[in-house]
Amino acid sequence: MGRRSKLSDAQWAEIERRMLEGESVRALAREYGVGESSIRERKTAHVESIKIVANQIVATERAVMSLPISAQISAHNLASKLRAISDNLASAAQYGAQTAHRLSALANSEVSKVDDASPLASVESLKGVAALTKLANDSAAIALNLIAANKETVKQLKDTPPEDQLRELSDAEFAEELARYGIEP
């Protein structure tokens, strides 16, 4: 573990903001009394990610503005639906994970009723543990699937050059993406 920074989180946030506004690393390092390498190591990758995302947002906004007005409305409506689907799935995953946690706790408390010396004498308790554990695992499925999907998406994004991430989809690819989310074109 590295040594603790002499700058506060608020100071690092200020440095990041100022870097995004174009101030030089050298000037910031001098002002805050830290080495240039400290700033580069801590914030450069993050700042670069922000710049890439900002450029993607601008490119997307330009692409939307180049559409006819009816298509712009459709694109905004579709984006709203996709955000709502994402939010709802995230909430379902959160509730499922909370349910899984509660059921696991109940299964754990049920385990204490099992006689260690003669576990088969506690068949009813073992059945209860098994049922609660299965329900807990089933409840966690949505959350686990979202985590797996997120992990796969991150891997794909890391493997895809930034310039290819915003390529235009063909009509068939766009319809396929909509179908993945249960939306009819």
CA distances from 95 to 13, 92, 100, 111, 137 (A): 33, 5, 8, 24, 13
Task: Give the distance from CA 67 to its chain's centroid.
Answer: 29
What is the CA angle 123-126-132, rounded to 5? 145
Tens of pLDDT, residue by residue over 146-165, are 888 878 877 776 776 655 55
> Hey, what are 3's tokens?
């040594």
Tens of pLDDT, residue by residue over 165-182, are 555 566 677 667 666 666
Q: Give the pLDDT confidence score for residue 107 in this predicted structure.
A: 92
Stronger pLDDT, 166 or 91, i.e. the higher one: 91
Percent with pLDDT over 70 in the chain: 84
Ramachandran angles phi, psi of 21, nearest 5°: -85, 0
> Hey, what are 74's tokens?
């459709």
Burial of residue 57, with CB atoms counted within 10 A of its CB: 0-12 exposed, 13-18 middle, 19 or more buried: exposed
Q: What is the mean pLDDT of residues 89-95?
A: 89
Q: What is the mean pLDDT of residues 20-30?
A: 89
The 8-class DSSP code of residue 122 comes to G
Q: Find where tokens 């699937």 sit.
A: 145
User: Looking at the predicted structure, is the pLDDT value of residue 18 above 80?
Assistant: yes
Q: Give the pLDDT confidence score for residue 44 in this predicted structure.
A: 64
> Hey, what are 123's tokens?
């068949």
Q: What is the mean pLDDT of residues 115-139?
A: 88
Q: Give the pLDDT confidence score for residue 57 in this predicted structure.
A: 87
- Distance, CA of 8 to CA of 5 (rounded, Å): 7
Under a CB-based contact definition with an 8 Å cutoff, are residues 115 and 122 in contact? yes
